[in-house]
Amino acid sequence: MQTQQRRGLYPEFEPYETGMLDVGDGHSLYWELSGNPDGKPVVFLHGGPGGGSSPSHRRQFNPGKYKILVFDQRGCGKSKPFASLENNTTWDLIDDIEKLRTRVAKVDKWMVFGGSWGSTLALAYAQTYPDRVTELVLRGIFLFQQYELDWLYAEGGASSIYPDGWDEFVAPIPQEERADLLQAYRKRLTSDDKQTQIAAAQAFSRWEGRTVTLLPSPAVMEEFTESDKAISIARIENHYMINKGWLDEGQLLRGADKIRHIPGIIVQGRHDSCTPPRAAWALKRAWPEVDLQIVPDGGHLYNEPGILDGLVRATDRFADA
- What is the average pLDDT score of the chain? 97
Among residues of the chain, what percentage have pLDDT more than 70? 99
Report the 3 state secondary structure along 174-237.
Answer: CHHHHHHHHHHHHHHHCCCCHHHHHHHHHHHHHHHHHHCCCCCCHHHHHHHHCHHHHHHHHHHH
Question: How remote is the C-alpha of 320 from its chain's centroid?
Answer: 25
Q: What is the mean pLDDT of residues 2-16?
A: 92
pLDDT of 278 higher than 60:
yes
Among residues of the chain, what percentage have pLDDT more than 90? 98
Q: What is the pLDDT of residue 64?
A: 98
pLDDT of 276 higher than 90:
yes
Domain ranges for the chain, please list them: 15-145+246-320, 147-244
Task: Name the pLDDT band for 2 (thresholds 50, 70, 90).
Answer: low
Active site residues: 116, 272, 300
Render pLDDT for 280-291 as a digit per residue (tens, 0 to 9): 999 999 999 999
**Is 36 buried (19+), middle (13-18) or exposed (0-12) by CB count in 10 A?**
middle
Q: What is the mean pLDDT of residues 272-286?
A: 98
**DSSP character string of 113-175:** EEETHHHHHHHHHHHH-GGGEEEEEEES-----HHHHHHHHSTTSGGGT-HHHHHHHHTTS-G
Task: Name the pLDDT band for 34 (thresholds 50, 70, 90).
Answer: very high
pLDDT of 214 higher than 70:
yes
Q: Does domain 15-145+246-320 have CATH number 3.40.50.970?
A: no
Q: What is the pLDDT of residue 4?
A: 84
Q: What is the mean pLDDT of residues 14-35?
A: 98
State the virtual CA torsion across 90, 91, 92, 96 in degrees, nearest 10: 100
Strand order in the sheet with 66-71: 17-24, 27-35, 66-71, 40-45, 110-115, 133-139, 264-269, 291-295
Check: pTM over 0.95? Answer yes or no: yes
- Per DSSP, 106 falls in state -
Rounded to an integer, what distance in angstroms lies between the CA atom of residue 204 and that of residue 231? 9
Q: What is the pLDDT of residue 321?
A: 87
Rounded to an integer, what distance in angstroms lies between the CA atom of residue 205 and that of residue 172? 13
pLDDT of 24 higher than 80:
yes
Q: What is the mean pLDDT of residues 50-65?
A: 97
Render pLDDT for 129-143 as a digit per residue (tens, 0 to 9): 999 999 999 999 999
Q: What is the mean pLDDT of residues 291-313?
A: 97
